[in-house]
DNA sequence: ATTGATAAAAGTGTCGACAATAATATTTGT
DNA sequence: ACAAATATTATTGTCGACACTTTTATCAAT
C-alpha cells in the first residue's frame, strides 16, 4: 500500500521490517492480533518469502510470536508483562548507567547535558504532556545505554526491549504525574555520571525506573 | 548429512535450527567463519528457504550475524566480548535471583537444593574438571532464572545469552581454580533464597558472577 | 610484475508454486 | 436440533528458479 517504500538502497525485507515494526509499536496493528502472511504480503506487494524474512526479524525484537504451523501473532500486552519489563530494565539500565559513568567520553557527557537542557526548556514536556515527553525520556535512556559501550547491553535494550517499551506506552499511556520528578531524577543521574561515580549512577537509575514501576503498580491496584 | 534428523513432529527448520545451534556452540563450526547458504542447505539436504528460516532464529540467539547482500557469519569471540557478557549476566541474573527469592515455590527450592547435593557428591565436579562442572554450573543458574518467573528474563537468559556463554566456555575453557569457591557461593545463594531474602540473594549472585569476571580479567592481563 | 578494468563465477534477495497442516464448512447419524 | 465425523477451504512449510549483488578470475596497460 505505501507506495514509495522501496526507494532506498536497502533490501525490500528491510524496508518492510522497519515499517511493520512501526505499525505494531504504534498500535495500528493491534496487540494479540493474528498476522496473515498472504494478507500482509499482498499489502506490501511482496512475496511471502521476503515478508517472512521481515517477520522473523520482528520476532527477534519480541514484538510478535510464532507457533509452528499456526503463524505469527502480535504479542499480548498485560500489566504483568509491563511490570516484568520494568524489572528487566531496572537491572540492565542500572548496569548500563554504571558503565556509562565509567566509560562515557567528555563529548558524550556534554551531549547528554545538552539533551537535558532541551528538555528543561520544553514547556509541555516539563508538564509531561503528550507522547513527546515519552520520546524525550527514551532519548535520555538511549544515550546512556549507548554511552555504556557494552554491545550486548546496546543490542538488548536499544534493538529489542525499547520497542516493546514504546509499544506499551502507546497502548497504556504514560504516568504523567511523574514527569517533573522524573526530570529531576535525570539531572541527578547525569551529575553522578559527570562525577564518574558509577556506583551511585547505577543506584539512581535503578530507583528512577523502580519509581515508574511502583507508579504503575499503584494504578493497577486502584483499577481492580 | 545426519540422516535421522527429521523424524520428530517438528518442522525441518526447527530440527536444523537446533542442530546448527549446537554445532556453533560447541565450536564444530568455527567462530567468525562465513556460512554459505548453498553449502549448508546441501549438507542438511533442505532448500535455502528453510535453511534461512533456521538461520534467522540462530541470529536471534546472537550466535550469528547477518549483513545485507553479504550473508551470515558466526559471531567473533573476544575477551572484551566475554567481559561484556559477564556484565550483562551480573545485572540480569542478579535481578533474577532477587525475584527467585521472592517467587520460588517450596518445591522449586527443594529441587534447587537437590541439584546442589548432586554437585557436592560429584568428585570431578568438585575439583572443577572437564566441562561437566561447566554444565552443572549452568544448570544451577538456569533453575534460578526459571524460578524468577519473569518471562523476559527467562527469554533473554535461557534462550539467548546462555548459548553464547556456553560457546565462550567451549572456546576459552573455564577457570578451574574457582570451582570449589563457586560451589560455596552457590550454597550461600540458595540459603538467601530459602530465607526469601531477595536483597541479599541479588548481592550474592552479582558477586558470584563478578568474581568469575575478575578471574578472566586477571588471566587477561597475565597473557598480554 | 603490479595495478586497474573487465568478465566470469558464486552468493544472496526475491519470487511463485506445490505439499502438509490447521481452520472452517458441510454432512451424517441419533 | 445437536454432535461427531467428513469434506472443503485457507494458511503455513518447503521447494526450485531467476534477478541482482558481491566476489573471484581474467585480461590489458603501463
Q: How does pLDDT run across B95-119, given as a tens digit for each residue? A: 999 999 999 999 999 999 998 888 7
Coil, strand or helix: which one is A34? strand
Q: Name residue, grid cell 538467601.
A: B192
Average pLDDT over residues B155-177: 89
Nearest nucleotide relative to B41: CA against C1': D15
How many Å apart are A141 CA and D1 C1'?
62
What mean pLDDT, rounded, does chain A reach? 90
Residue-wise pLDDT tens digits, B22-77: 999 999 999 999 999 999 999 999 999 999 999 999 999 999 999 999 999 999 99
Cα separation of A179 and A146, whole Å?
A: 23
Beta-bridge partners for A35? A72
- Which of B15, B79, B95, B97 to probe the A interface (max A CBs under 10 A)? B95
CA distances from residue A98 to A40, A137, A186, B77 in whole angstroms, order as listed: 43, 18, 14, 24
DSSP code of B159? I
Cα separation of B160 and B156, whole Å?
A: 5
Closest A-chain CA to B149: A84
Chain D: nucleotides below 7 Å from protein CB are: 11-17, 21-23
CATH topology of domain A3-74: Arc Repressor Mutant, subunit A (1.10.10)
Nearest nucleotide relative to B52: CA against C1': C12
All residues of chain A having their beta carbon less than 8 Å from the beta carbon of residue B52 are 53
Beta-bridge partners for B65? B73
Asked if B17 contacts B54 with a C-beta cutoff of 8 angstroms, the reply is yes
- The pairing of strands B71-74 and B34-35 is antiparallel
Cα separation of A29 and A208, whole Å?
A: 31
* Burial of A89 (C-beta count, 10 Å sphere; 0-12/13-18/19+): buried
Closest B-chain CA to A84: B150
How many Å apart are A48 CA and C22 C1'?
18
* Poorest-pLDDT segment among A6-20, A206-220, B154-168, B190-204: A6-20
All residues of chain B having their beta carbon less than 8 Å from the beta carbon of residue A95 are 87-88, 90-91
- In this predicted structure, what is the pLDDT of residue A116? 85
DSSP string, A109-163: HHHHHHHHHHHHH-HHHHHT-HHHHHHHHHHHHHHHHHHH--HHHHHHIIIIIHH
Q: Which of A29, A212, A22, A218 is nearest to A133 (CA)?
A: A212
What are the residues whose beta carbons fall under 8 Å from the beta carbon of A6, sequence distance 6 or more? A12, A15
* Poorest-pLDDT segment among A28-37, A92-101, A137-146: A137-146
Which chain A residues have any C-beta within 8 angstroms of a chain B C-beta?
A: 10-11, 14, 49, 52-53, 56-57, 59-60, 62, 68-69, 81, 84-85, 87-88, 90-92, 94-95, 99, 150-153, 155-156, 161
Cα separation of A6 and A11, whole Å?
A: 8
Distance of CA A52 to the CA centre of its chain: 24
Residue range A79-223 in CATH 3.90.470.20: no
Do A85 and B153 make contact, defined as CB atoms within 8 angstroms? Answer: no
Cα separation of B65 and B58, whole Å?
A: 9
pLDDT over 70, % of chain A: 88
- In this predicted structure, what is the pLDDT of residue B44? 97
Q: Which of A166, A167, A169, A162 is nearest to A76 (CA)?
A: A167
Cα separation of A211 and A222, whole Å?
A: 17
- Those residues whose beta carbons lie under 7 A from strand D are A 34-39, 48-49, 52, 66, 68-72; B 11-14, 45-50, 53, 69-70
Distance of CA B141 to the CA centre of its chain: 9
Q: Per-domain residue ranges for chain B?
A: 3-74, 79-223
Q: What is the pTM of this model?
A: 0.91
- In this predicted structure, what is the pLDDT of residue A165? 95
Beta-bridge partners for B66? B72
CA distances from residue B106 to A102, B115, B137 in whole angstroms, order as listed: 41, 14, 21
* Burial of B75 (C-beta count, 10 Å sphere; 0-12/13-18/19+): middle
Residue-wise pLDDT tens digits, A101-143: 999 999 999 999 998 888 777 666 555 554 446 677 788 999 9
Look at phi and psi of residue A24 and say left if phi exceeds 0, alpha if psi is from -120 to 50, else beta: alpha
* A126 or A41: which leads in pLDDT: A41
Grid cell digits, residue A114: 545538552
- In this predicted structure, what is the pLDDT of residue B99? 98
Q: For residue B84, give the nearest of A14, A68, A151 by CB distance.
A: A151
Residue-wise pLDDT tens digits, A191-202: 999 999 999 999
Which chain B residues have any C-beta within 8 angstroms of a chain A C-beta?
A: 10-11, 14, 49, 52-53, 56-57, 59-60, 62, 68-69, 81, 84-85, 87-88, 90-92, 94-95, 99, 150-153, 155-156, 161
Phi, psi of A196 (to 5 degrees): 55, 35
Cα separation of B117 and A183, whole Å?
A: 50
Look at phi and psi of residue B128 and say left if phi exceeds 0, alpha if psi is from -120 to 50, else beta: left
* Poorest-pLDDT segment among A123-127, A211-215, B209-213: A123-127
Q: For residue B90, give the nearest of A56, A95, A151 by CB distance.
A: A95
Beta-bridge partners for A65? A73
Closest A-chain CA to B60: A60
Q: For residue B92, give the nearest of A52, A69, A91 by CB distance.
A: A91
pLDDT at B2 over 80: no
pLDDT at B175 over 90: no
- In this predicted structure, what is the pLDDT of residue A184? 87
Closest A-chain CA to B56: A56
Do A95 and B84 make contact, defined as CB atoms within 8 angstroms? Answer: no
Size of interface A-B (CB pairs under 8 A): 74
Residue-wise pLDDT tens digits, A43-74: 999 999 999 999 999 999 999 999 999 999 99
Angle at B122 between CA B118 and CA B128, to 5 degrees: 115
Cα separation of B41 and B29, whole Å?
A: 15
Cα separation of A188 and A191, whole Å?
A: 5
* A224 or B198: which leads in pLDDT: B198
Amino acid at each position: 500500500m505505501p507506495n514509495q517504500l522501496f526507494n532506498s538502497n536497502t533490501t525490500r525485507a528491510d524496508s518492510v521490517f522497519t515499517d511493520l515494526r512501526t505499525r505494531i509499536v504504534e498500535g495500528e496493528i493491534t496487540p494479540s492480533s493474528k498476522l496473515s502472511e498472504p494478507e500482509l504480503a499482498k499489502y506490501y506487494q511482496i512475496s511471502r518469502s521476503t515478508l517472512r524474512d521481515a517477520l522473523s526479524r520482528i520476532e527477534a525484537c519480541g514484538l510478535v510470536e510464532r507457533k509452528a504451523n499456526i503463524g505469527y501473532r502480535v504479542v499480548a500486552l498485560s500489566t504483568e508483562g509491563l511490570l516484568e519489563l520494568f524489572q528487566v530494565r531496572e537491572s540492565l539500565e542500572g548496569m548500563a548507567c554504571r558503565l556509562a559513568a565509567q566509560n562515557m567520553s567528555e563529548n558524550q557527557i556534554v551531549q547528554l547535558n545538552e539533551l537535558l537542557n532541551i528538555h528543561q526548556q520544553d514547556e509541555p514536556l516539563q508538564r509531561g504532556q503528550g507522547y513527546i515527553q515519552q520520546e524525550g525520556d527514551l532519548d535520555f535512556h538511549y544515550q546512556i545505554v549507548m554511552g555504556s559501550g557494552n554491545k550486548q547491553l546496546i543490542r538488548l535494550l536499544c534493538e529489542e526491549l525499547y520497542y516493546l517499551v514504546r509499544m506499551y506506552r502507546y497502548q497504556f499511556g504514560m504516568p504523567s504525574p511523574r514527569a517533573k520528578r522524573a526530570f529531576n531524577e535525570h539531572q541527578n543521574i547525569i551529575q553522578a555520571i559527570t562525577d564518574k561515580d558509577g556506583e551511585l549512577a547505577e543506584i539512581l537509575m535503578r530507583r528512577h525506573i523502580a519509581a515508574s514501576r511502583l507508579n504503575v503498580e499503584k494504578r493497577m491496584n486502584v483499577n481492580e
